[in-house]
Structure 1
């Protein structure tokens, strides 16, 4: 089990990888949206993210707890504002405005995916020295990077709470292949049962490493193995003996089309997921599980990705 949570050990890494991806790769307002969405689950219904109102703006606050004790500022990476000097200015200016407009908080948290260098660190130290215990207004200022946000704020959450932030976690539930209309339209009435008594992984780790898939995608593929026997049995028992090959050809066509414009393997996999389950497939756990399983199935069965040479080892990545 995850420490302090109800998340199963099989998927604790999946939640963490989803967080790492969202935190590190989001930019600007997308980053702020992710952080405030997570904070609304972390702090519950009393958490408030003030909407900017005309010239008032949001009073320099990207979120505050209902009791007014903890205030947040978010700063998402953008190429034109990622310098260390700009970050230090942002730390100082956000704090100064929030302190003036919100007189109750005693804890101020700066959440950013731009690394805190020496200038930004000095700005934070200056705030804490000026507002130490015994001063006119004692305030504890802290910075939250990707790891600290996970370890202190997300890790204590329960699995249902994490599901609200990262929908579509594969819990090895029943998969309904009729949801996979874009690729598997002929599998309309299939209901495949997954169990925890899983065979060895269908997709070799060497193949996933060779194609430089992210840890999150590797987990999705590896744990989809619980469905592999049922998928094979379904194809074997179908009245059309050519169906599996035909679907494999269609899947490869989609892959080749995506690969023309995608920049890396993880983007290829994500766009394959979307082509199967639609843009919001992760909002439905059953559909998400089906997407992971069928993609992994064709990844292995049809060799749509590159195979490593026989003498290749994972250390060569």
Structure 2
């Protein structure tokens, strides 16, 4: 498994790659990634007048059909046209080949609102089918599960082997926490900070890579306490926590995948400051702090216990 530093590097390189891959170029990258990741994945290419018949890939074992959409500039009308056309073609020509329709996109900002509407409409119209979306966060997780040489080939660069120690100082956190102050909402009630329940990471179904990042960042959450202890406004922490929780509830209602929820919370913390690796690490410290205080993600029921881990493979 890649280290935290290496996963951060892969995330940064993937973001850079996606900023340059559109249309067929993105489609080809996605197909290469899925072929490396899943032996049963079939990359569907266009063929003469047949086109791709509504599919850019098929997973034989789990019955998933993938359709890619990667424009240079997102457009609501174009999203609807692409989604509708691919779904109609897939149902007409490949209905016996799949039971889940997966719409894959390259939008680093998250799911386009129009796509959320389309997924809901499609589910209502085709109750026998399941519908999913895949974006940059999903692609990052798939990449990180590959062997190092496969990741390097897909990204077109080497992953630096580094023994750098994960170091975060208060000065790294201050810009992010100041940004949160600007985002905060007036609190209607002030709840004291609580210790994170030991089963919380598992209960929220976070991917192993996401859990590892949060656990690594927890070593530095006392710095956030230090920051708030120095504030003249003693209500600031609670107001920020209230705003953070309100945003989490909003995101949780829009996204089913815990990885997507975490991705949106990272954007909320960092604002326009995302990009550099030191900022990525500082973002995770802030998230880990509010995870520990139970302002984001759900607490497990008192008697809940994590299921035994199963052996994993590619």
Q: TM-score, structure 2 length as denominator?
A: 0.47
Q: TM-score, structure 1 length as denominator?
A: 0.47
